[in-house]
Amino acid sequence: MDNELRGRVAEIISRYRRRRISRRHALRLLGALGLSGVAGSAIMRSATIAQDEMSPMPMGTMEPMGTPPVGPQIDGTTVWKVQVGGMDMETGIDMHAFFPGEVTINAGDSVLWGFAPMGMPGFHTVTFMSGAENPPIFIPDIVEGTPVESPGGPPRLLINPLIAFWDGRAVYDGTGTANSGLDVLKAPDDMAYALEFPTPGTYDYQCAAHADVMTGRVIVQEAGASLPNDIAGYEAIAQQEMAAVLAEGKKALADATLATPMAADGTAWDVSAGAGGLSQARVSRFIPAEVRIKVGDTVRWTNRTAGEPHTVTFLGGTEQPANVLLETQTDGPPKYIQNYQTFLPMGETTFDGTGYRNSGFLGVPPEMGQLYGLLGDSYELTFTKAGWYPYYCALHASGQDDAQGMTGTVVVRE
């Protein structure tokens, strides 16, 4: 076992012994580091013996394993709380921000980031890069130096493991990287991430998936220094910041709603795939949600949330494809494979209500779009038969019938 792996294992065991994570969580994290079930179980047996010899914590000081209690701790330190993102279900406004965006703490304190407010994970991480470049979201799947082929397409893509999984660090001193892993891949009982900060300094971090807008800062003072806010003060700041982002999103939604859906030629109808541009308030809605057109007309969808991809997906009587495919491995963490049925454009440019039609990811960086033949920001589809045609975004809805997700309808008349 090399020094880096030994250090990561020690951090996992430290968190377990301090009752910050459960035994099941610790075993899962050891497996993510490539340790076999036998080796992981042996390590945990040793850790359990050591934990059993520790003095028990006073009654009333513990919360469920895996979530340290927010506030002052019995050792004199404090656990501070930050919310990761948020979603207003009524409007579809996805808040790409940390609340509060900046906290000042003392050396030895910890920060607890809470994911999935209202039970809605947002494809977010908490990632400290120490000045290094943010890792890409997708990477080619390469086995023994050879890219893995995909059926009928370019080499398949994986969600980058550097983003997908917690890296095992429980303490951050301003060096190296520290990553929470993606919230959408976490277990329901593991929707929090804590880091201890032993060294004074100013530490910037981001969501690795939305680094262009979603950033935060932790300022660490010397131990014992006076603090500008208490827990309640930061909660009030978080609520104020959230209200400001939500107001920004509502304005973007209102502006998009006022735009006319019909182009100058009278046959192409425009729909916004999202709204909000390059901001912390991104509206995950099709605007307008319904268009009524005639046979032979064309609908043009344009992504208007820079840095946040969307799809326009019509099932046309076919089975709904999964957006991400899971492939387990006997040695190492699972692979999360991006399904090319949702990632790439699929089907003809006309639609009579039958057969799968998909725009592919709209709004990806130009270099990725050129490499994989994506369509840029816009997608057009001409409707050749009267009917009622529901559709959805494969990234922001569970399917075409998701009442709260990003869905729309095209009604075609003779």
**Taking the CB of residue 34, how many other CB atoms lie within 10 A of it?**
13
Question: Number of structural domains, the chain?
Answer: 3
Name the residue range of residue 407's domain. Answer: 259-413
Q: Is residue 61 part of a domain?
A: no
**If DSSP codes are grouped into helix, strand and coil, which group holds residue 8?**
helix
Q: 248, 281, 316 — which closes off a domain?
A: 248
Q: Say what the pLDDT of residue 373 is.
A: 77
Q: Is residue 321 part of a domain?
A: yes
> Which residues have C-beta within 8 Å of that of residue 257, sequence separation ≥ 6?
287, 288
Q: Which of left, alpha, beta for 144 (phi over 0: left; psi -120 to 50: alpha)?
A: left
Q: Give the Cα separation of 89 and 85 in Å (integer).
A: 13
Chain length of the chain = 414
Q: Is residue 62 part of a domain?
A: no
Q: Say what the pLDDT of residue 59 is.
A: 26
Q: How confident is the model at residue 42 (pLDDT cuts 50, 70, 90)?
A: low
Q: Is residue 253 part of a domain?
A: no
Q: Say what the pLDDT of residue 260 is.
A: 56
Q: 13, 31, 56 — which closes off a domain?
A: 56
Higher pLDDT, 351 or 117: 351
**Taking the CB of residue 149, how many other CB atoms lie within 10 A of it?**
11
Residue 117 has pLDDT above 60, yes or no: no
Sign of the Cα torsion 331, 336, 340, 343 reads: negative
Residue 92 has pLDDT above 70, yes or no: yes
Mean pLDDT throughout 130-151? 87
294 plus 194 within the same structural domain: no
8 A C-beta contact, residue 321 and residue 311: no
Token reading at 115: 């994911």
Q: Is residue 94 part of a domain?
A: yes
Nearest partner of 81 among 119, 117, 114, judged by Cα: 114
Q: Say what the pLDDT of residue 227 is.
A: 97
User: At 237, which helix (H) or strand (E)?
Assistant: helix 231-258
202 plus 145 within the same structural domain: yes
Q: Say what the pLDDT of residue 148 is.
A: 84
175 plus 142 within the same structural domain: yes
Nearest partner of 339 among 141, 164, 150, 185, judged by Cα: 150
Q: Give the Cα separation of 325 and 146 in Å (integer).
A: 20
Q: Say what the pLDDT of residue 65 is.
A: 38
Q: How confident is the model at residue 57 (pLDDT cuts 50, 70, 90)?
A: very low
212 plus 276 within the same structural domain: no
Q: Give the Cα separation of 352 and 310 in Å (integer).
A: 23
Q: What are phi and psi of 258, to 5 degrees?
A: -75, -20
Q: Is residue 128 part of a domain?
A: yes
> What does the pLDDT look like over 307-363, one tens digit per residue?
899 999 999 999 999 999 998 888 778 899 999 999 999 999 999 999 999 999 999
135 plus 283 within the same structural domain: no
